[in-house]
Amino acid sequence: MLRFLYQRLLRLHPPAFRKRFAEEMQSIFDRVTERSARVRLLADGFLSLLRQWSLRPEFWHEFASGGQHAAVDGIPSFYTLDPFRPRTAAVVHGLILTVAVFCLTCFAIRYSWIHVLHVQIPEVQFESSSSVVPGAAAARPVQREVASRTGGQMQDDVSGSSRSSQAPPTQAPGPRPGTAAQQNAGGNSRPAPPGRAGKRARRASAFNTAQNAASQPGRAPESSSRQIASPGPGQPDTPLQPAASAPPLVPNTKIEATERRRVIEAAVADLTRYYVDPDAAQKMAAALRTHEKNGDDDAATDGEVFADLVTQHMQDVSHDKHVMMIYGAAIAPESPQPPSAADIAAYRKKMGRTNCQFEVVRVLPRNIGYLKFNSFPDAEICGPRAAAAMAELNDVDAIIFDLRDNPGGYSNMVALIATYLFDRPAHLNDFYDRSENTTEESWTLAPVPGNKLADKPAFVLTSHMTFSAAEAFGYDLKMLKRATLVGETTSGRGHMAMARRIDDDFMIRVPHIKVVNPISKTNWDGTGVEPDVKVKAADALATAEKLAESKLQGK
Amino acid sequence: MNDDASNSLPLAPAALHILLSLAAEDLHGYGIMQDVARQSEGKYKLRPGTLYDNLQKLIRRRWVEELGQKPGDDDPRRRYYRLSSLGRGVLAAETARLASVVREARLRLQVAKPRRA
């Protein structure tokens, strides 16, 4: 049996090798009688088979007649060279290598097309070159305004979120949270409207809800994840957190029925008073009371479980992902501190380091501009960078804004970038503040001198990870019929919330500001922004490029 | 020849042992295997797969010649192999190289000894 197997193995060898050596190998095998030795020879034969076929292609077709060329010692012999022909294996290997290198090169080109390195560009460069950058005209006053502001006001503006609150009553209208921690980054920040300053009050507030609570120092990681309303791809421009006033972690202790009742009552009071939609607030309040009455909360003696349950009850009725009960760490202090100058400097530094989250500024083939930015950072800090980006794309024939990885940020940046798409100020949206019953309008800024993009086709790429301010950008342009939205339905965050302290252990996030679009008279909260062309996020860029090309061809 | 030899050095163990076996007399494959086992006192076992793979290469390089069958052999399937003059030159070059390695090694080991003492 072993002999038979060995014979088969030898037969499977390349023909030249087989003709030359198979008989001899067989004869050696036949000399061995011990079974274990024969098994070893069989294994050796198998290895030989692999070796000959994989590593010795140069011998595959060699004629088995080495003996014919045998030269007698001392007598010179002459060989003829066949016309050179590369080995088959060499050709195959070369083919594989070529394909691999080709694929690698294509991948590298594609990658470099989509990504660029974040090169930190010193601000001074923009200032010095502002005379030739069309957008710089808009950017400069922004900076000046930052510089001229009073410290306190600026802090409130820039940080907005964290725990500012307790703002002096003389300040500009906007959410005044009392003892609550204001969570809207830049909730009160005003855009610096070049050429229009002071004419129209605008709320340059941020849509980046919740992010600040999530990034406060000194909190337990699990509770932070609980507090993030929008667990998107990080909140890149989370501004300025107070460093020193971190509250201590609260241990997850048992809570009594009386405390549960007290929390529910406080929640009902806050909802009724502040929630953007009074009807929904009533419904949520009623639902909370009903659940309490029915004893649905009785089992929740654990603070975190109870908070999650209350959150669930509120969201079941309102479908508003912003409304949330929070337990445990990082409860807003009663008298929160505004962020320090160091916090502002840290935010500025972070923005500088990350190129203000502008990932790609590029001109694609057929002169289509492509701008991928992963945040709407504060225009007061990143305005010059945005202006420079738009200036770079000033001569394109169509422009694509990629917001697929954009979790939102400041509305003053929304207004600043949108400005480039209009030759007149455009009414983007209104911010209705329930707690103060005020409405503030958000407009694009004065047209930028030298801007050529106002009449160019514009496309906005969206994904389900497109959040708040980024959604506003898409929604506003869609309503104004200024851009074609391509991609997925966005996440649906159109409210701005603030965390309000209940006691040492609990706080509640109540959306008190909603965006109202002047055209649709509503917003995208809960539903998300529907794209005009619905495709998978991964295909959005290619689709938009095609749309842009066909639009340009049709011209 | 010198170029060929120096380019091929050092030789792989299998090739060296095969050339060494054939240096004394013409042998068939099985004879080479046995001689290699004897040379290395059983420490290096050449199996047929490796043997004929190396023979194939050595013949291609013309260091070894295939003589064919020998009349009167008890197994007609066997073929005999001979070291060519080219192969002999290569073996001589390799031996000289090894000798210099051995000489160098001995020298260094001798120098090292007193230090340790």
In the prediction, which pLDDT does A60 show?
Answer: 79
Give every residue of chain B whose pLDDT is below 70, as ranges. 1-6, 111-117
Is B30 in contact with A27 (Cβ distance < 8 A)?
yes
CA A327 to the chain's CA centroid? 27
Where exactly are the structural domains of chain A?
2-66, 132-139+147-250+328-555
Query: In sequence order, what are the beta bridge partners of A429?
Result: A442
Rounded to whole angstroms, how far apart are CA atoms A303 and A545? 51
- Residue tagged 């290198």 (tokens): A101
Phi then psi dihedrals of residue A513, to 5 deg: -120, 135
Question: Quick check: B79 and A70 CB within 8 A?
Answer: no
- Enclosing H/E stretch for A369: strand A368-373
Q: Which pLDDT belongs to residue A106?
A: 93
CA quadruple A531, A536, A540, A542: dihedral sign: negative
Q: What pLDDT is recorded for position A345? A: 86
Structure confidence at residue B101 (pLDDT): 94
Alpha carbon A320 to its chain's center: 22
Phi, psi of A4 (to 5 degrees): -60, -45
| Chain A contact set for B67 (CB, 8 A) | 67, 70
Residue B94: its pLDDT value, please?
93
**Residue B78 C-alpha, separation from nearest chain A C-alpha, in angstroms:** 5
Whole-prediction pTM value? 0.48
Predicted ipTM?
0.85
> Considering only residues 88 to 117 of chain B, which have any Cβ-Cβ distance to chain A shorter than 8 Å?
none
Residue among A375, A374, A346, A412 at smallest CA distance from A139: A412
Burial class (CB in 10 A: 0-12, 13-18, 19+), A331: buried
Element (H, E) at A506: strand A506-516
Distance of CA A531 to the CA centre of its chain: 18
Distance from CA of A82 to the nearest CA of B (A): 15
Tell me how close the Cα of A94 comes to any Cα of chain B, in angstroms: 23
A59 and B60 within 8 Å at the Cβ level: the answer is yes
The residues near B106 (Cβ < 8 Å, ≥ 6 apart) are none
Which residues of chain A neighbour B48 with C-beta distances below 8 Å?
24-25, 28-29, 41, 44-45, 48
> CA-nearest residue of chain B to A50?
B49
- Chain B (2-21) residues lying within 8 Å, Cβ to Cβ, of chain A: none
Q: Which domains are delineated in chain B?
A: 2-116 (1.10.10.10)
pLDDT digits (tens, 9 = 90+) for B76-106: 888 999 999 999 999 999 999 999 999 999 9
pLDDT at site A141: 38
- In three-state secondary structure terms, A500 is strand
Sign of CA pseudo-dihedral A56, A60, A62, A64: positive
- pLDDT for position A277: 84
Superfamily of domain A132-139+147-250+328-555: 2-enoyl-CoA Hydratase; Chain A, domain 1 (3.90.226.10)
| H or E element that contains B72 | none
Contact status, residue A283 vs residue A291, Cβ threshold 8 Å: no
Interface-testing mutation among A73, A77, A79, with chain B (most B C-beta atoms within 10 A): A73
**How big is chain B by its Cα radius of gyration, in Å?**
17
Separation of CA A242 from chain center: 25
Q: Closest-CA residue in chain A for B59? A: A66
Q: Quote the pLDDT of residue B111.
A: 67
Q: Is A29 in contact with B48 (Cβ distance < 8 A)? A: yes
* Average pLDDT, 10 consecutive residues per value, chain A (555 residues): 88 88 90 89 92 84 50 58 70 94 92 61 44 40 36 35 35 35 37 37 41 36 34 38 41 71 88 87 89 81 85 86 80 67 85 87 91 91 90 92 91 91 90 85 89 92 91 92 94 81 84 88 86 92 92 81
pLDDT at A167: 35
Dihedral (CA of A447, A451, A455, A461) sign? negative
